[in-house]
Structure 1
Amino acid sequence: MDSQEGSNISRRQFVTAGGLTAAAVCLAPGSLFAQTGGLVESAFKEAATAKVTVQTLRRNVSVLLGAGGNIAVLTGPDGKLLVDAAIVTARPNVSSALASINAQPIKQLVNTHWHFDHTGGNEWLHAAGASILAQENTRKHLSRDTRVGGNWQYTFPPAPAGALPSTVFQEEHTLHCNNSTLELKHYLPAHTDSDISVHFTEADILHTGDTFWNRDYPFIDYSTGGSIDGQIRAAEANIAKVTDKTIVIPGHGAVGGKADLILFRDVLVEIRDKVAAFKRQGKPLSEVVAAKPGARYDAEWGNLFQNPSDFVALVYQGV
C-alpha cells in the first residue's frame, strides 16, 4: 500500500489493507471491476478482507465499523433494520457481524445516499429479505450509468433490479420499527443531492451518512450535486439538530457527538475560506495546494478517501 501523500488509499482508512479474495470476486458484478487502477477499484479489493467490528450504542441500536460506510443496526421483534449496506465485496464479514448480534432476520434497509460504499450490499440484503428505502435521487443515480469525477474518475453502471430502492421519498419520511421511531430527512444538496439523515428518536442517535466524516476530509461529489458550501450547510444542520447527549454516527470514522460535528464544520469553513482567498488572488490550483491551507489538520484528516491535495482541489473547484 502506498504511504505517500499522493496515494488515494492510505494505511488508516475505511477498509483494512488486503487482497481481493476469490469469494469477493464472485460476489461483485463483473462490470464494477472492468475499470482498474483507481480509488474505487482499490476500495473493492480492500473491503474484501476488511475487519468489521460491532459497537453497541444505546437501546437496541448498534453500529458496524470497518468496511465502507458505517452501518447502523436496529434490532427487535420486527427483525433487523439496517442503515447503509457497505461495499459489495465486504459481504462475508458484514454478514458475520450481523449474525453475531443475533439471529433475527434482515427486514429493512435504508440508504443514506447512492454511493457504492453505502449501497454496495443492497442486492444481497434484498435477497436476504430486506425492503430498501431511500431518497428518490438515490434510486435515480443507481438506475443509470453515473460518472463520478474528482479522484474517483469512475463510471458506475446501473445497479441490478434487486439493489434498487423499492420505496422512495422526497423530503421527509417516518418509520416505525422495533418499538422505535426513525425520522428520515433529506438535506439540501451537500455531499451529493441524495443525502439523508436518520434519527433514532427514542435512542437519540443520529446517522448522518456522508454529511459528516469524523476527522477525515470528505469526498464531495460535484458530479451528483455536491459542493463545499452544501457540505458546510449540512454540517450546520447537523449541529442544530443534536444535543450534547446525542450519539452521532458519521458516514466514515468513529462514532462521535456534537463536539465532533462542530470541529468538522470549523475545519471545512477554515479551509474553504483560505482556498477562496487564494483563488480570488488569481492563484492557480498548484500554488494553492503548495500553500497547504489545511496544514494543521492534514496529518490526521488526510488519510481516508481524500489526501490533503485532493481535498484542496475539491474545495478549489467549488469556491
Structure 2
Amino acid sequence: MMSNLYIDRRKFIGSTGILTAGLWLFPKLVFEQESPVAIIRRAAATAKITVTRLRGNLSMLEGSGGNVLVLNGPEGKLMVDGGIDLSRTNMTAALESISPAPLKHLINTHWHFDHVDGNLWLHESGASITAHENTLRNMSRTVTVEDWNFTFPPYPAGSLPEKTFRKKEFLAFNGEDIAMRYYGPAHTDSDISVYFPKADILHVGDTWWNGHYPFIDYSTGGHIKGMIEATNYNLRKAGDDTIIIPGHGEIGNKKQLTVYRDMLVDIYQNVKTMKDSGKSLNQIIAAKPTSKYDAVFGTFIINPDFFTKLVYKGA
C-alpha cells in the first residue's frame, strides 16, 4: 500500500482531463512502474488546446504543459513556453486560429519538460529561443528529478536556447518592450518572469500555481524560500489591473497572488518551527501544518502531505 504522501494511480488516471487546463507535476512513486513524465507526454498527444484572448494582441493557450502566452502582430508571433512536443498538431491549429503570422520567438520560463518539450518543432518552425543560462545548462545535461522518479537525457541541439542571459534581458517585438528577469532559485534554478508592459501582462512561470500547492524541484536548485521571494517580487511588479499568467492554473490577479504568497509564508513558518523543535517529517505531517489551506490548495495533485514534505526539505 502506498504512503499517504502520494496520490494513487486511480486518482491520477481519473484526472487526466487536466490536460485541457494545463499539465501538472507529480510526486515520486505515484506509479509503481512508470514515471508520470511518460504518462503526461503520452496524454499530450490528444490534449485539447484552448485559446483565451487577452489584451494587447496577447492570448493564452492551455492544454499542453504549462500555460503558453502568445503575442501576435505584424512582425509575427512570440510564444512564452512551448508545451509538449506530442501536442504539435493541436498546438499548430491553435496558433493558426490566432493568425497565419509566422512564429519568430520563443521564451522559456524554465527548463522543465512541460514547458520546453516543444522547443525542437517550434525552433524548426522559425522560432529563435531565449532563456536563462541555467535552462540551457539543465537541458544540455542528464538530470534526475527524484520526486518524479525520472531521468532526463540531454535535449537535442535544436531544442536548446540560442540566446541566454544571467539577470535581465529585453526584447522589442510587435510594439512591446518585453522584459525578462531571473528570480534566483525558486521553483528551479532557472525561473524567469516575462512582462509585457504595454498590455500589462506578467507571465510568472511555475513560481505560481494558481489555486494549487506548487511543486518545488530541489533536484535542480528549487527552494521554498526562493518561491516566497519570487512571489514577493511578482507582487511588487504587478499592479491592481495586471493580468498575471501562472505556470499552471487559471489566469490570475494580484489579489489571488497575495493569498498564494500568504499561504506559502504561513506553511513555511509552521513547518520550520516544528522542524527546529526537533520533530521528524512524519511527526510534522501528522500535525497537519497545512490544514487551514487544504480546502483551497490541497485538492489536486500536490496533496497536503507531499507539499509538507517539499516545505520540510527547505525549512
TM-score relative to the length of structure 2: 0.90
* C-alpha deviation, 1:92, in angstroms: 2.0
Q: In the alignment, does 2:278 pair up with 1:282?
A: yes
Q: Distance in 2 between matches of 1:16 and 1:198?
A: 23
Q: In the alignment, does 2:68 pair up with 1:64?
A: no
Q: Distance in 2 between matches of 1:144 and 1:200?
A: 31
Alignment of 1:1-319 (within 5 A): 6-7=7-8, 9=12, 11=15, 14-16=18-20, 37-150=34-147, 152-319=148-315
TM-score relative to the length of structure 1: 0.89
Assess if the C-alpha contact under 8 Å between 1:70 and 1:84 holds in 2: yes
* C-alpha deviation, 1:119, in angstroms: 0.4
- More displaced stretch, 200-209 vs 8-17: 8-17
Q: Distance in 1 between matches of 2:55 and 2:199?
A: 6
Q: What is the one-letter code of the residue matched to 2:292?
A: R
Deviations 1:49-77 (A, max 9, x none): 22211111111111101221000000011
Q: Assess, with a 3 A threshold, how the Cα gap between structure 1 residues 225 and 14 changes in structure 2: closer, same or farther.
A: farther
* C-alpha deviation, 1:46, in angstroms: 2.3
Deviations 1:15-68 (A, max 9, x none): 259xxxxxxxxxxxxxxxxx9512212211222222211111111111101221
Deviations 1:130-187 (A, max 9, x none): 110001110000001011122x121111001110001111111110111111001111
Assess if the C-alpha contact under 8 Å between 1:219 and 1:305 holds in 2: no
**How many percent of aligned residue pairs carry the same amino acid?**
50
* C-alpha deviation, 1:12, in angstroms: 7.6
* C-alpha deviation, 1:305, in angstroms: 4.7
* C-alpha deviation, 1:13, in angstroms: 6.8
* C-alpha deviation, 1:304, in angstroms: 4.8
Q: Distance in 2 between matches of 1:155 and 1:245?
A: 41
Q: Assess, with a 3 A threshold, how the Cα gap between structure 1 residues 36 and 44 changes in structure 2: closer, same or farther.
A: farther
- More displaced stretch, 73-82 vs 299-308: 299-308
- More displaced stretch, 132-141 vs 44-53: 44-53
Deviations 1:83-109 (A, max 9, x none): 001122222222221111111111110
- More displaced stretch, 165-174 vs 286-295: 286-295
Q: For structure 1, which runs of at least 5 residues remain unmatched after alignment? A: 18-34
Assess if the C-alpha contact under 8 Å between 1:16 and 1:46 holds in 2: no
Q: Assess, with a 3 A threshold, how the Cα gap between structure 1 residues 155 and 318 changes in structure 2: closer, same or farther.
A: same
* C-alpha deviation, 1:14, in angstroms: 4.3
Q: Distance in 1 between matches of 2:111 and 2:143?
A: 10
Residue of structure 2 in register with 1:32 after alignment: none
Q: What is the one-letter code of the residue matched to 1:283?
A: K
Which stretches of structure 1, 4 residues or more, deviate above 6 A after TM superposition?
Answer: none
* C-alpha deviation, 1:302, in angstroms: 2.9
Q: What is the one-letter code of the residue matched to 1:15?
A: L
Q: For structure 2, which runs of at least 5 residues remain unmatched after alignment? A: 22-31
2:73 partner SS: coil
Residue of structure 2 in register with 1:26 after alignment: none
